[in-house]
Amino acid sequence: MDMSATAAGARRIDLRSDTVTRPGPGMRQAMAAAEVGDDVLDGDPTTGCLEARVAQLLGMDWALYVPTGTMGNQVAMGLVTKPGTELYLDALAHIVHTEMAGTALFWGVQIRPVTPRGLAIDADDVRGMLRPPGPHALRASALAIENTHNSAGGVVTSVAGVRALAALARDHGLMVHLDGARLWNAAAALGCTVAELAAPVDTAMVSFSKGLGAPVGACVAGRGIPVALAREARRRFGGGMRQSGVVAAAALYGLDHNLARLPDDHAKARRFAAAVDGKGGARVIPPDTNIVMIDLAAGGDAAALATAIAGDGVLVSPWAASRLRAVMHLDAGDDEVAHAAHVVARHLARSAA
């Protein structure tokens, strides 16, 4: 539970993100006990154990531990794209909006945003954007898929959907990256394995600092690409870490203890969504996973509303001008979520009055 006291002494429920969780006693104990070495020189045993485990879970040739999901995505961008080519991506993808133009800056790639007809891109959306070859047509090198899709409300792309996207990409000579910061949630929601969702892609990134509750860390993984290239890119970004076992142990703890409970977060999201949907004319994207997007009625001001809601001890994110985001996680228990939903619903109703 994130029940940290505010200055006024009132309880605070933080639903801005699933990244706000704090390592509990069990995770901290695992971190303190981690066997460590110098991962850049000759390997850190706990990091090696995490990388082997993640490679096996994803069914990839290798996995490499990186400090953040953003670095993992950017390492992968270096592996699947080529300078002076295009990268197809969902128009609301994290790589487009939240990675500080890294793909353009580091890898010389033009992003070609694909606006989905539904919530997340499918093969037909991408097919409609492919440029017919010709003297004026810029070549594309890669397609990236985000699963779950954060900005679309944690929506999942099914195994069949991922296969169709990857098959289309292959037919057009594109490599495929999977931004799977919340792939664990996607697999839990779909009742499949992360390996099934990663099977058709060349590179994948999975994060430990979201639903799994670790303080930091992600893995980038690949198949058919030398791991040495990924190591080189990680090093270039300053991501070669030394006794990284201390934090890798938190990721291993998250896999052991927090993976199986992700459906609880999805259930909380459904209950939260049901409690706020329609209040004050707001509309909720029915949540597939742990993210609840609330679209305000016309004229609604998400920033002002988030500030007002925070005054009652509940933190949600103003995600866009008229969209709020609330994310369920292991530090917000059922009672806190019920209370937060009640507070948000009350503010929504009041804002429309």
Does 203 engage in binding with ligand PLP (CB under 6 A)? no
Residues contacting residue 229 through CB under 8 Å, at least 6 positions apart: 78, 79
DSSP string, 181-207: TTHHHHHHHHTS-HHHHHTT-SEEEEE
Stretch that binds ligand PLP, among 4-12, 64-72, 244-252, 273-281 (CB under 6 A): 64-72
Nearest residue to 225 via CA among 237, 215, 213, 233? 233
Backbone region of residue 86 per phi and psi (left: phi > 0; alpha: psi in -120 to 50; beta: other values): beta
3-state secondary structure string, 11-80?
ECEECCCCCCCCCCHHHHHHHHCCCCCCCCCCCCHHHHHHHHHHHHHHCCCEEEEECCHHHHHHHHHHHH
Binding mask of the shown chain, residues 213 to 252, with x at each position contacting ligand PLP by CB under 6 A:
-----x----------------------------------
- Residue 203 or 351: the one with the smaller Cβ distance to ligand PLP is 203
Does 265 engage in binding with ligand PLP (CB under 6 A)? no
Helix axes 245-257, 25-32, angle to 10 degrees: 140
- Residue 70 or 322: the one with the smaller Cβ distance to ligand PLP is 70
Stretch that binds ligand PLP, among 69-77, 125-133, 193-201, 273-281 (CB under 6 A): 69-77
Stretch that binds ligand PLP, among 68-76, 221-229, 285-293, 302-310 (CB under 6 A): 68-76
Does 181 engage in binding with ligand PLP (CB under 6 A)? yes
Does 94 engage in binding with ligand PLP (CB under 6 A)? yes
CB of 335 to ligand PLP, least distance (A): 26
Among 21, 46, 47, 70, binds ligand PLP (CB under 6 A): 70
Amino acid at 75: V
Among 23, 69, 200, 318, binds ligand PLP (CB under 6 A): 69
CB of 284 to ligand PLP, least distance (A): 19
Sheet arrangement for strand 283-284: 283-284, 291-295, 323-327, 317-320
Does 185 engage in binding with ligand PLP (CB under 6 A)? no
- Interacting residues toward ligand PLP by CB under 6 A: 68-70, 73, 94, 146, 150, 179, 181, 207, 209, 218
